[in-house]
Chain A
Amino acid sequence: MTHTLHRQGSVDSLKEDYPVLIIGTDVPLGRHRMRFRRKFPRIYAIVKRTFLYFGIPKMLRIIKRTKPVVAHGGLVFNNKKELTSYLKELKERNTGKSVVVSGLFDEVNDCLKELNLSPHTVQFSLGIFGKKELLPKGEILEITTMCGHHMISPNLVEKLANDIENGKISHEDAVRVMSKQCVCGVFNKGRACKLTEALVNRLYSLSYSKTGTAY
């Protein structure tokens, strides 16, 4: 899967978005959240404290790839300091599992330099090709592309924005509804809250046309 590669948004917004995937090729079947908590207690505590979505229960699914067995887990950080601390711990533990960090190249490379690590392999996003007129509005894509499998319907985001505007639901609850659709645990709830707020402001501002063109 290309999960976290094609996340959209401005550079400023992406500075609060660092998904991390841990992928093992030698872990036994039956791993689950509690086991992760026992094995990485400090990491678990850090993640819990930062509020951002911790998708281990859903994400730590076991993929039987004949042999060896592959399992993976995903989580998201909203700042470089926590990311660096997490990567430092992973480096010290030397588990032998692959670790993939997504985000702005310049920012992630800063973290790696601090830990005396260097990229092994990189993947660039060359963007979207084809009939772009079929795409949802850019502000909606910034939210929906945070789901690794794109299971959050653009219509749902628009409907929730409407519900927020009409006072039927809070931003936080709307984001909770969106994140329920994402099975891989890389949906950044904190960033989604900010983006949803911006979306509501733009959709319902008088200076915004129904076709999505800002005046």
Chain B
Amino acid sequence: MRINLEKCIGCMECIPYCPARAIIATGSKCAVDEQRCFECYTCLTSGICPVDALEKVPLKWPRILRHIFSSVTMAHKWTGIDGRGTAEMKTNDVTGRYRHGEVGFTVDVGRPGVGTTFEDVEKISLAVAKVGVEFEQMNPVTKLMTDKTTGKLRDDIKRERLLSCILEFKTKDSKAVSVINALMDVSKSVNTVFSVGCISRCRPDGTIPVKTMLEEAGIFYRPNGKINIGLGRPLAP
């Protein structure tokens, strides 16, 4: 994203719209700090500029990743899915991705509202991979891994900044607490924040195995979350 200085009238109205705080005042005009910009186009789509001074810049690899992950309106060509992750537990009643005895995790890196780089994303993927997790194949970050067993990402993307992206993986019940401990450890070395979600299939009697596990381990969880209410028709019986 850039600001056409010929058109900019310096009204500064666009500045607060930027989630990256990349639009800055330079004298009587505004400018975009290219290093900070997520290429989310939020400033442009808000329609706030009265003189249409906000302009897209053609994006090449790897900078295009900033736009794909941050804007969420463009599908990833390698998964066909737009946004930052997949339907994860939302369609579990249909797909059966998370089964009894397994715990799923979603790690929204850079969320809420801080942003991240793939360098930090890799720190987290490497940390959880050491415990022993299975990364979701259809997740766009997994597609950027050069080694899906170690969680290593491509080297050419590490410096790219994005509003957020999601690591999705699952593991056995017995490893869930170790994964959370690994996330707590790596949280000390990242230069951002990340929000963690923990997924569990409910037993037929209504009990939730991971809930007991979290409580026994003294791990905090919020009183609100997401519930798949089981109205989906399974793809296979």
Taking Cβ atoms with an 8 Å cutoff, the residues of A that contact B are 1-2, 4-8, 11, 14, 17, 21, 23, 25, 61, 63-66, 70, 72, 87, 90-91, 94-106, 108-109, 112, 117-132, 134-136, 141, 144-145, 149-156, 158-159, 180-181, 183
Q: Can you spell out 27 A-B residue pairs with CB atoms less than 8 angstroms apart?
A: A2-B88, A2-B108, A5-B195, A23-B90, A23-B232, A63-B82, A64-B75, A70-B81, A87-B229, A99-B229, A101-B227, A102-B224, A112-B227, A112-B229, A121-B93, A121-B201, A126-B197, A126-B214, A127-B221, A141-B113, A149-B72, A153-B17, A153-B18, A153-B19, A156-B16, A181-B46, A183-B72
Cα–Cα, bound, A61→B178 (Å):
38
Which residues of B170-227 are within 8 A (CB) of A?
180, 183-184, 187, 190-202, 206, 208, 210-211, 214, 219-227
Cα–Cα, bound, A149→B110 (Å):
11
Which residue of B93, B201, B221, B223 contacts A98 across the interface (Cβ within 8 Å)? Answer: B93
Residue from B198, B211, B223 having most chain A Cβ neighbours under 10 A: B223
B94 touches A131 (CB 8 A): no
Taking Cβ atoms with an 8 Å cutoff, the residues of B that contact A are 15-19, 21, 40, 42, 46, 72-73, 75, 79-95, 98, 104, 106, 108, 111-114, 138, 163-164, 166, 180, 183-184, 187, 190-202, 206, 208, 210-211, 214, 219-233, 235
Cα–Cα, bound, A6→B194 (Å):
11
Which residues of B are found within 8 Å of A119, using beta-carbon distances?
202, 206, 208, 227-230
Indicate whether A130 sits within 8 Å of B187 (C-beta atoms), given known contacts A101-B227, A120-B92, A135-B114.
yes
Cα–Cα, bound, A200→B164 (Å):
28
Indicate whether A126 sits within 8 Å of B228 (C-beta atoms), given known contacts A98-B94, A153-B42, A156-B16.
no
Which residues of B are found within 8 Å of A106, using beta-carbon distances?
223
Q: Smallest CB-CB separation from A157: which chain B residue?
A: B16
A1 touches B192 (CB 8 A): no
Cα–Cα, bound, A104→B223 (Å):
6
A1 touches B84 (CB 8 A): yes
A125 touches B202 (CB 8 A): no
Which residues of A are found within 8 Å of B192, using beta-carbon distances?
130-131, 134
In the complex, what's the smallest C-beta–C-beta distance from B226 to chain A, in angstroms? 4
Indicate whether A134 sits within 8 Å of B193 (C-beta atoms), given known contacts A100-B90, A101-B229, A126-B198.
yes
Which residues of A are found within 8 Å of B87, using beta-carbon distances?
1, 23, 70, 72, 98
Q: Smallest CB-CB separation from B231: which chain A residue?
A: A99
A125 touches B222 (CB 8 A): yes
Cα–Cα, bound, A43→B223 (Å):
28
Cα–Cα, bound, A65→B83 (Å):
12
Cα–Cα, bound, A125→B194 (Å):
11
B88 touches A124 (CB 8 A): no
Residue from B16, B111, B138, B227 having most chain A Cβ neighbours under 10 A: B227
A131 touches B72 (CB 8 A): no
B227 touches A102 (CB 8 A): yes
Which residues of A are found within 8 Å of B226, using beta-carbon distances?
2, 4-5, 100-102, 122-123
A2 touches B81 (CB 8 A): no
Q: Smallest CB-CB separation from B90: which chain A residue?
A: A100
In the complex, what's the smallest C-beta–C-beta distance from B30 to chain A, in angstroms? 14
In the complex, what's the smallest C-beta–C-beta distance from B206 to chain A, in angstroms? 5
In the complex, what's the smallest C-beta–C-beta distance from A135 to chain B, in angstroms? 6
Which residues of A are found within 8 Å of B88, using beta-carbon distances?
1-2, 123
Indicate whether A130 sits within 8 Å of B93 (C-beta atoms), given known contacts A96-B233, A124-B197.
no
Cα–Cα, bound, A2→B197 (Å):
8
Q: Smallest CB-CB separation from B210: which chain A residue?
A: A124
Which residues of A are found within 8 Å of B219, using beta-carbon distances?
126
B187 touches A120 (CB 8 A): no
Residue from B98, B221, B233 having most chain A Cβ neighbours under 10 A: B233
Which residues of B are found within 8 Å of A104, using beta-carbon distances?
223-224
Which residue of A25, A112, A125 contacts B94 across the interface (Cβ within 8 Å)? Answer: A25
Which residues of A are found within 8 Å of B19, using beta-carbon distances?
150-154
B232 touches A96 (CB 8 A): yes
